């Protein structure tokens, strides 16, 4: 078995991350693929081989799904003009145009509604926030499985939350029925080598990982992460000196900073019958 390269963990946190040697000895390609993740926004002009889309969707469907309800759908867009139009709707993101495949992951309660009708039963449960949460979780789990599988094939991906910029317009563009909501998009294609970097993550201690009970003593982790992100950005032309904290506070500071029509998502959900009781 291959030894896990400790550099993968150092890159992930922007600082050495010691692990017991016995654990490093258990290295494998799944761990390598996951730890080496980076969003890819630069693609070579190369189509995907036949069968790749279908294989990737099989990996998405291999994710767990709440109560086996399959509350999500995936829409594959490969037509260049349609990708260009979607790029406009998603905040003019060029990687949507450049990637050969753009997937839209939808929270989908329409299929369950149809099943209830066919079974001549009520479908009142579908109107509750619980079902909306379930559908979002299902879509996200499926997507992340697909991302890891794509990366294992040498492909790169980038999630596109910009797909929520104009929910009404994107729903019309994709012919979505009521009770179907685009959660995010995902660009997929072969990456231009080394054009995108592995970005460090928040430290576990005082940050992401809590033991037994929650602790809000984040300060030490935030300071360490600010330094890691400043180091990371120092290698990016035009981003020198930038950290994470000020930018993060700005990103969530106002409704406008959420972007485009995103502050109105609640109203849109009501319009499409995804009311949250
Ligand atoms: C749900 C979701 C939506 C995202 N939306 C966008 C987007 O619209 N455009 C983009 O370029 N990156 C987008 N990203 C990528 C994040 O910016 C990226 O994952 C984060 O900065 C960490 O970088 P990394 O993925 O390279 O590790 C999104 C990520 C997620 C999970």
Question: Using 50, 70 and 90 to split pLDDT, how confident is the model at 24?
Answer: very high
Determine if ligand 1 sits within 6 Å of the CB of residue 191.
Answer: no
Among protein residues, the one whose CA lies closest to atom 10 of ligand 1: 160
User: What integer best gives the mean pLDDT of the chain?
Assistant: 96
What average pLDDT does this structure show over 205-226?
95
Q: 3-class SS at 259?
A: coil
Exposure string over 127-142, b if 16+ CB within 10 A, otherwise e = beeebbebbbbbbbbb
Which protein residue's CA is at the shortest distance from atom 9 of ligand 1? 160
- How far does the centroid of ligand 1 lie from the alpha carbon of residue 162, in Å? 10
Across the range 183-207, mean pLDDT stands at: 95
pLDDT per residue as tens digits for the range 28-37 = 999 999 999 9
Which pLDDT score, from 0 to 100, does residue 180 have?
A: 98
Residues with Cβ < 8 Å from 274, sequence gap 6 or more?
107, 109, 132, 179, 181
Summarised one tens digit per residue, pLDDT across range 154-184 is 999 999 999 999 999 999 999 999 999 999 9
Domain ranges, ordered by start, for the chain: 38-196+257-271
From CA 199, how far away is CA 11, in angstroms rounded?
A: 7
Q: Ligand 1 pocket test: pick from 136, 160, 188, 232 the residue with the most ligand atoms within 8 Å of its Cβ.
A: 160
Residue 244 alpha carbon to ligand 1 centre in Å = 14
Torsion, Cα 122 124 127 130, to 10 degrees, reads -110
Q: Would you place residue 1 in the very low, low, confident or very high pLDDT band (cuts 50, 70, 90)?
A: low
Q: Report residue 275's pLDDT band, with 50, 70 and 90 as the boundaries.
A: confident
CA of 82 to the centre of ligand 1 (A): 22
Predicted pLDDT of residue 60: 98
Ligand 1 neighbourhood includes 161 CB (under 6 angstroms): yes
Ligand 1 lined by 232 (C-beta under 6 Å): no
Q: Check: CATH 3.40.50.740 for 38-196+257-271?
A: no
Q: Are 19 and 9 in contact (CB under 8 A)?
A: yes
DSSP code of residue 261: T
Cβ-contact 246, 229 below 8 angstroms: no
Tell whether the model's pLDDT for residue 70 goes beyond 90. Answer: yes
Pocket flag, ligand 1, residue 259 (CB < 6 Å): no
Q: Angle at the Cα of 175 (from 172 to 179), degrees rounded to 5?
A: 90
Task: Scan for tokens 């033991």, then name that residue.
Answer: 211
pLDDT at 2: 76
Using most ligand atoms within 8 A of CB, pick from 97, 158, 182 the residue to mutate for ligand 1: 158
Q: Which of 243, 149, 139 lies closest to 199, judged by CA?
A: 243
Average pLDDT over residues 47-61: 98
Confidence of residue 277 (pLDDT cuts 50, 70, 90): confident
Q: 190 in ligand 1 pocket by Cβ < 6 Å?
A: no
Ligand 1 atom closest to the CA of 197, numbered from 1: 26
The pLDDT > 90 percentage for the chain reads 96
Task: Give residue 58's pLDDT band: very low, low, confident or very high (50, 70, 90).
Answer: very high
What is the predicted pLDDT for the residue at 106? 98
Task: Answer yes or no: is the C-beta of 132 below 6 A from any ligand 1 atom.
Answer: no
DSSP label of 161:
G
Percent of all residues in the chain with a pLDDT value above 70, rounded to a whole number? 100
């Amino acid at each position: 078995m291959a030894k896990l390269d400790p550099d993968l963990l150092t890159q992930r946190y922007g600082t050495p991350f010691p692990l017991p040697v016995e654990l490093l000895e258990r290295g494998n390609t799944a761990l390598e693929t996951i730890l080496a993740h980076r969003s890819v926004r630069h693609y070579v002009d190369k189509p995907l081989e036949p069968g790749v889309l279908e294989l990737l969707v099989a990996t998405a469907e291999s994710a767990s799904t709440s109560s086996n309800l399959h509350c999500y759908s995936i829409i594959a867009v490969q037509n260049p003009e349609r990708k260009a139009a979607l790029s406009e709707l998603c905040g003019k993101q060029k990687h949507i145009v450049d990637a050969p495949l753009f997937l839209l992951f939808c929270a989908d309660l329409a299929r369950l509604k149809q099943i209830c009708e066919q079974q001549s039963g009520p479908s009142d449960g579908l109107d509750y926030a619980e079902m909306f949460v379930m559908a979002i979780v299902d879509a996200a789990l499926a997507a992340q499985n697909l991302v890891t599988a794509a990366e294992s094939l040498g492909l790169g991906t980038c999630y596109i939350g910009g797909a929520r910029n104009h929910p009404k317009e994107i729903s019309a563009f994709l012919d979505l029925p009521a009770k179907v909501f685009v959660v995010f998009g995902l660009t997929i294609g072969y990456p231009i080598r080394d054009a995108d970097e592995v970005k460090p993550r928040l430290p576990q201690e005082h940050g992401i990982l809590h033991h037994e009970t929650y602790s809000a003593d984040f300060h030490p982790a935030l300071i360490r992460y600010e330094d890691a992100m400043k180091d990371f950005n120092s290698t990016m032309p035009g981003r020198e000196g930038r950290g994470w904290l000020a930018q993060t506070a700005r990103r969530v500071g106002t409704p406008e900073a959420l972007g485009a029509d995103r502050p109105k998502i609640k109203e849109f959900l009501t319009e499409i019958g995804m009311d949250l009781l």
